Chains A and B, each alone.
Chain A
């Protein structure tokens, strides 16, 4: 990989990695009397891990490569591997915390291993580690193909990828040490947040630069979603994380948003992290890999437009449905509910567009587990967006809120939609990137598919049951007009479902391990494919007579 860089590019890469190392050192020294110091050490170790391979092949002769006629896929390859590593980590943490709810002694009396500290390592590991790496990797791949142009940078893709992973490592290691802002899905502290801003701005410049190089007049729909994902996540991240550190040498900061305003900002962020990270980005994936795998064009261009702008506009209003019946003013709750219900239209337009694209290719869905992953993802997307709109209705929310129903809903989306579309895309992408004829084993893809489906269903049904039972027990009155159940009664009723949920999660994790093995074996030993000449950027056509 390093051999493909020119000497000048290696110098730049070296300088950036060295600057990161120095930054880590500075953080370590400034924070020597605080847990922040250990975060500095982690930055230094990370920078050394990047510097080592760079230094060892620094003077190797550069491999001649005609960049005009090739795509740049090395960052995508590494991104996919990292996504799978994070998937295993994040889902293992998920199974562990789920088991702690059934068997609390599994925290082993440690500070770092108690539920409250592990829970964000699961959410960050899965959403940002697994999901984020998958999005970065696939967006690099998709933007090049749909623009028929090479990535607009040789070093910046690596900076985005490794810089992003450094953010994830800082965040997750921080939680274990007790560093957290407690903002859900934005727990990382100020220094990590600032670092992510630098990485993300680079990502945006790289992406828009590549689109500017395009040889196609139109920007393809997948890129609309990836652009919305990059742009809006930047806005959400910055606004939600505005905070004042108590000192430059300490990890702790206080958010600038107080009380009720903080609640609104947090859920404006939180719900749109779902919208623009977990929905828009992955719709970008769907709009490219589903038609490619099905070998059918997208069903409707108009539906694509409708759903894209509907999602971009409506979602930003929906966050306040997380705050029904709270101290947030009623008018904001009502707006949130209204737009959440309207969101069903663009959401189902997307899901319908995906499923109708499969018309004429249903025999492939039957035979090809990879395409079936994507089909199932579209179905779960449709189901969970319906459920989301339903749960946003105030009286429904009075039952579902604070219960496991919400957790079940999130996992219907995260496992059923996000993870399945990612696996479908990865199984499409891996043979193409490593120039293999096919995946190492189609049977193992099939096994993974059924483990994933079984795991998701067990999980979601367990949480539906526990959530509804819990919600009903809290509001059940006796004939005398007193509350029928104590809180502990409702907790005791949850135990069987907590065990079932942990089992469902375990099935899903085993599926991922099967997938990792299959990907590993594909890279190591699947037969090479005959070279495809068409997978290259378009050259400017010389017009005769010019």
Chain B
């Protein structure tokens, strides 16, 4: 019977096309649509801030260089991961991430909570030649970041696009994006106060690459790495619960 039906279907190209679309649509609709409607999907984190323009620029360098190919930013709910990297990642922590950078492969370690673990100086030395600080490392050297001036003139457009997609950047943040990028990497400059005013006192102001005369791609990337896992404290409330989370016995 079913075979007879199918013999009929096979005779109609249009019918077949419709049947394929119908069969193939179900899974995606059932799994994706509810992620927007079920409130528990993304936890609430009222203390969470958006990326500063410098951090966002750094994130775009991370994307550009394909760092996600070797580093995940997603600590799973497994005992060893929580003990190695910190509290497991929450959905809310990547709510402003376009695209998400959870990754799929750890040739290098997870970076979801790398922010604050190492000094700026360590990061700069590591990016210039990873083997200078970790002799066994197989990570590429990114020397040119330290000498490449960061493009900041288009940062307002980046923030405006993010705002259009729903990231809560204010008009003031957009207008001051380029100045804020400079201010965050140049402590003591005229533009520094604006950064903490708009993004909070806890924002790290630093001459990330150790040079204040220019803002380089190294500044931006290190600023981004230093903020990873520190946009909200939401995950830290789960720390106790996390260690007892279901995990295969060691």
Contact = CB atoms under 8 A, between A and B. Distances in A.
Interface string A233-266: 0010001000011110010111111111111111
A315 B99 CA distance: 24
B76 A398 contact: yes
A498 B70 CA distance: 14
Nearest to B59: A182
B64 A178 contact: yes
Contacts of A102: 138
Interface string B114-145: 00000000000000001100101111111110
B70 A115 contact: yes
Contact of B98 (A114, A255, A317, A407): A255
A52 interface: no
Interface residues of B, number: 91
A543 interface: no
A259 B3 contact: no
Interface in B52-100: 60, 63-70, 72, 74, 76-78, 80-81, 83-84, 88-100
Interface in A488-526: 488, 491-492, 495, 498
A183 B98 CA distance: 10
A231 B102 CA distance: 29
A115 B108 CA distance: 12
Interface stretch (B5-13, B187-195, B199-207, B221-229): B5-13
A402 B98 contact: no
A336 B102 CA distance: 18
Contact of A101 (B2, B107, B167): B107
Contacts of B64: 178-180
A259 B42 contact: yes
Tell me which of A119, A323, A326 has the highest count of chain B C-beta atoms within 10 A of its own C-beta: A326
Given A217-B11, A402-B72, A487-B84, A262 B98 contact: yes
Interface in A327-366: 327-329, 332, 335-336, 339
Nearest to B164: A244
Contacts of B32: 261, 264-265, 268
Contact of A246 (B67, B161, B248): B161
Nearest to A491: B136
B16 A224 contact: yes
A212 to B, nearest CB: 6
A281 to B, nearest CB: 13
Contacts, number: 261
Contact of B35 (A178, A239, A332, A495): A332
Contacts of B103: 402
Nearest to B158: A246
A115 B141 CA distance: 10
Nearest to B3: A302
Contacts of A413: none
A243 to B, nearest CB: 8
B197 interface: no
15 contacts: A104-B130, A116-B65, A211-B13, A219-B13, A227-B17, A231-B20, A232-B24, A257-B98, A259-B100, A302-B3, A313-B23, A318-B27, A325-B77, A327-B74, A402-B105
Given A116-B140, A231-B24, A245-B161, 12 more contacts: A114-B142, A115-B69, A115-B140, A178-B64, A231-B21, A246-B160, A247-B157, A268-B27, A319-B31, A327-B89, A335-B31, A402-B106
Interface of A: 100-102, 104, 107, 109, 111, 114-117, 119-120, 175, 178-184, 208, 211-212, 217-219, 224, 227-228, 231-232, 235, 239, 244-247, 250, 252-266, 268, 276, 301-302, 305, 309, 312-320, 322-329, 332, 335-336, 339, 395, 398-399, 401-403, 406-407, 474-477, 483, 487-488, 491-492, 495, 498
Interface of B: 2-3, 6-7, 10-11, 13, 16-17, 20-21, 23-28, 30-32, 35-36, 38, 40-42, 60, 63-70, 72, 74, 76-78, 80-81, 83-84, 88-109, 130-131, 134, 136-144, 154, 157-158, 160-162, 164-167, 247-248, 250
